């Protein structure tokens, strides 16, 4: 049976060029990264910082760790931070901001990730002796839980203005920021220049097996490096982790991600006229959300898909399909046929 894995772009495998780079490493290419002595890691961090327009960068083990380190580096325990109510930091990072950072997390609603920053003014707390201090606001681009929505540059501009007025720092969970840049035909720095810190994943669309990058000012990354050590993220001869991302950042990732977006839209068009009781959200990037009626038992339909070789996840009455390196047009066309047959079989059984 053919297996097509739509669960996430984290299931990607390294490209041949990445394996070649890794195999080319010699002892001289490795050093103790906790001591700042691994030349491959240093090269990766320098290139990553330049790519997103920041002074410095830090290799972290994951996006969750990178986000938490960013929060720790720009707040003190007892501070309050603002996050969108369906953000990854709030929903999917095990409450680390509260448990480890001692932070109060206040959520706000949005329209598929977009919002008017000035309308958050009533949430800001600074002066009252009884209240926590609001010190940080977080953005997410693309927005995972809203279906890979690419948030526009204007939102970043207005958030920066709002943050400056209220003495706030801005952190960008940019796990898929390059997908947003490709979708909106902008250089990534057009987004990152408005934020104080940005985390982006190496292990999603960039197809590396491990890691994320946190970037910001030299002062911020100096603090972040110590928090990374505190969280157990201090790696030794980490050049074996950094080698593959170097190839990812040097390659034409714009074309690579655009192919994912094209395949997602192909999947969308294939499922669009099913005639079934499903709502298919038009995709911006490499994530397609298919929404089901409230009476549908989602684990059952996910199991049916898994049984025919279509691996995916469900979330809040939706199934998420994510395209990535390793899937091509033929895979998508094959999947459309299998998915539609499975959906029809499921609804006929109700």
pLDDT in tens, 270-312: 999 888 889 999 999 999 999 999 989 999 999 999 999 999 9
Asked if omega into 142 is within 30° of 0 (cis), the reply is yes
How far is Cα 138 from Cα 32, in angstroms, rounded to an integer? 32
CB 37 within 8 A of CB 228: no
Fold topology of 16-250: 3.40.640
The pLDDT mean for the chain works out to 96
**Helix then strand then coil, % of the chain, to nearest 5:** 45, 15, 40
**Domain boundaries in the chain?**
16-250, 253-348
171-175, 242-246, 249-253, 339-343, range with the lowest pLDDT: 249-253
Q: How large is the average pLDDT for residues 13-37?
A: 93
Can you give the C-alpha Rg of the chain in angstroms?
21
Write out the DSSP string of 279-310.
Answer: EEPPPSSSEEEEE--TTS-HHHHHHHHHHTTE
Cα–Cα distances in Å, from 183 out to 153, 179, 234, 284, 291? 12, 6, 34, 7, 23
Say whether 253-348 and 16-250 share the same fold.
no
Residue 149 DSSP one-character state? B
In this structure, whether the domain defined by 253-348 belongs to CATH 3.40.1360.10 is answered with no
- The pTM (predicted TM-score) of the whole model is 0.97
pLDDT at 2 over 90: yes
């Amino acid at each position: 049976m053919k297996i097509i894995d739509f669960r996430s772009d984290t299931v990607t495998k390294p490209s041949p060029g990445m394996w070649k780079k890794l195999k080319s490493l010699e002892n001289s290419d490795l050093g103790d990264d906790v001591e700042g002595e691994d030349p491959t890691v240093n090269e990766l961090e320098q290139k990553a910082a330049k790519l997103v327009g920041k002074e410095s960068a830090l290799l972290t083990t994951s996006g969750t760790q990178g986000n938490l380190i960013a929060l720790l580096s720009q707040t003190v325990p007892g501070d309050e931070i603002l996050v969108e109510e369906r953000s990854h930091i709030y929903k999917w990072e095990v409450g680390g901001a509260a448990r480890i950072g001692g932070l109060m997390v206040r959520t706000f609603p949005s329209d598929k990730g977009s919002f008017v920053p000035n309308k958050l003014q009533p949430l800001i707390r600074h002066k009252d002796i009884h209240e926590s201090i609001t010190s940080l606001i977080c953005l997410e681009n693309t927005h995972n839980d809203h279906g890979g929505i690419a948030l526009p540059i204007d939102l970043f501009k207005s958030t920066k203005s709002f943050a400056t007025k209220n003495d706030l720092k801005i952190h960008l969970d940019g796990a898929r920021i390059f997908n947003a840049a490709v979708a909106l035909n902008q250089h990534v720095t057009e987004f990152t220049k408005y934020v104080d810190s940005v985390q982006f994943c190496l292990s999603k669309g960039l197809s590396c097996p491990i890691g994320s990058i946190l970037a910001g000012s030299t002062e911020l990354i100096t603090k972040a490096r110590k928090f990374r050590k505190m969280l157990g993220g201090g790696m030794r001869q980490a050049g074996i982790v950094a080698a593959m991302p170097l190839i990812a950042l040097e390659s034409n990732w714009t074309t690579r991600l655009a192919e994912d977006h094209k395949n997602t839209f192909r999947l969308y068009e294939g499922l669009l006229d099913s005639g079934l009781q499903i709502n298919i959200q038009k995709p911006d990037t490499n994530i397609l959300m298919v929404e089901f009626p409230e009476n549908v038992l989602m684990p059952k339909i996910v199991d049916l898909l898994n049984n025919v070789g279509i691996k995916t996840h469900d979330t809040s009455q939706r199934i998420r399909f994510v395209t990535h390196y390793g899937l091509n047009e033929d895979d998508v066309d094959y999947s459309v046929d299998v998915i539609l047959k499975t959906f029809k079989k499921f609804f006929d059984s109700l």
